[in-house]
Structure 1
């Protein structure tokens, strides 16, 4: 996202995205060091493990997720990467807040707890209309249209967050799928996708094999 002169990233992904993420950002003219703001939808490993690479950015994480992770509740939710959380706590770049917040003009951060206590969504105006980047509160298009969600924590709290997103969104960018239109269900991002597994079968870890389904 770019608002005015400030360049922002919503979630950084996990280890699995690292090899593709940085070359793609650079090819788009957005090297990691150019970002001023990184917003984390929540503090699970697959959304925040690449934070250290954005060394010039302020890191925004809801206070409830920081409290939960810092309470050393690994027996409750092992998706919180404790060493990374401690690193976040020690950085001068960390910014936490309670409730909702206006990040900058045109970017509203709303508290949508349930998947984690501090899960948030970002509301922005795009060419698709009002677009909600919602992390894992809504993971994919199938969850949205089936209304069968991967509920974590208190069910009533979770569904209140989902209801809030549904009331706002013309389009949704979910945590594990492409952006889609909330009325038609049409995917909005360009390009086709196909399932594949990238594996390392050789002694040389740089040599990859791509395994695709049989036609």
Structure 2
């Protein structure tokens, strides 16, 4: 049985309206800082990333005023601090292609890059409200994935023993999450299919979740949360500072 360790990496802080992004309609007008998270996954031999995190402060502030990446927070700098050379990463799984998940891909010089086919298609030809999310050329940007040799998948796949990618659309059309086998059961790296632990709190007697604020399809988003909860013993949200309370998952083990 394969058993992996998961290290959360905070690649910056994004400033958002809580009720518009994290918990739909709850906390409107309250400004909060959420992490731009990437994940280093290893079994001691395989070295994998799930997402690569966000960009330097100047560009982050363009996306969301007040957002920043402090010195040492870029994904490659954090890996180096862990004693991992980015060139040792063999696989980068992208949950989706929004700006805060796919910067610095060029640092992983020997990696394969996997994204869902629906996500890549939409990122290349989004509707106008999503131009900024994807740093689209129509805004004069060069998307961070533009010159990266992305490989696409179209559904569920056990891409390595103990590492299963499965579709979780809703936040974006081709969003995907990653189920990781650990010694303490399956941990699901949810990406933005679950923004925060707050999304897993029942909103009412008949609503087992609290809907996030950002989605392209609320029905798909809801179904994806159901699937994540079904699969995971532990769920790791995409933008919750509390995931940083533990330097490694499963909790209680040493890096």
TM range (shorter): 0.7 to 0.9
**TM-score, with length taken from structure 1:** 0.76
**Contact 1:3–1:105 (8 Å) recurs in 2:** no
In structure 1, the residue matched to 2:42 is 2
CA deviation profile, 1:46-78 (whole Å, cap 9, x unmatched): 011221221221111111100001114344452
Structure 2 gap ranges (5+): 1-40, 56-68, 203-208, 249-255
Residue aligned with 1:133, SS: strand
Cα distance 1:106–1:18, how it changes in 2: closer, same or farther (>3 A)? farther
Establish whether residue 103 from structure 1 lines up as the match of residue 134 from structure 2: no
Q: Is the 8 A contact 1:130 1:169 kept in 2?
A: yes
| Structure 1 gap segments, 5+ residues each | 181-186, 192-215
Residues 1:165 and 2:228 aligned together = yes
Closer/same/farther in 2, CA of residues 34 and 149 from structure 1, 3 Å limit: same
CA RMSD of the aligned region, Å? Answer: 2.4
Say which of 130, 137, 144 aligns to 2:186.
130
Q: Which has the higher strand share?
A: 2
Alpha-carbon spacing, 1:56–1:188, altered in 2? closer, same or farther (3 Å) = same
Aligned mate of 1:80, from 126, 130, 134: 134
Query: Counterpart of 2:23?
Result: none
2:53 corresponds to: 13
Q: Which residue does the alignment assign to 1:189?
A: 246
Change (3 A) 1:72 1:159: closer
Tell which has more relative contact order, 1 or 2 (C-alpha 8 A, sep 6+). 2
Question: Post-superposition shift, 1:17?
Answer: 6.7
SS across alignment from 1:109: strand
CA spacing shift, 1:172–1:18, aligned 2, 3 Å: farther
Residue 92 of structure 2 is aligned with which of 38, 41, 44? 38
Question: Which of 115, 121, 141 lines up with 1:61 in the alignment?
Answer: 115
Which residue pairs with 1:209 in the alignment?
A: none
Larger Rg: 1
- Which of 216, 220, 225 pairs up with 1:153? 216
Matched-pair contact (CA < 8 Å) for 2:103–2:145: no
Number of residue-to-residue matches in the alignment: 183
Tell me how far apart the structure 1 counterparts of residues 197 and 147 of structure 2 sit (CA, whole Å): 37
Alpha-carbon contact 1:173-1:179 (below 8 Å) kept:
no
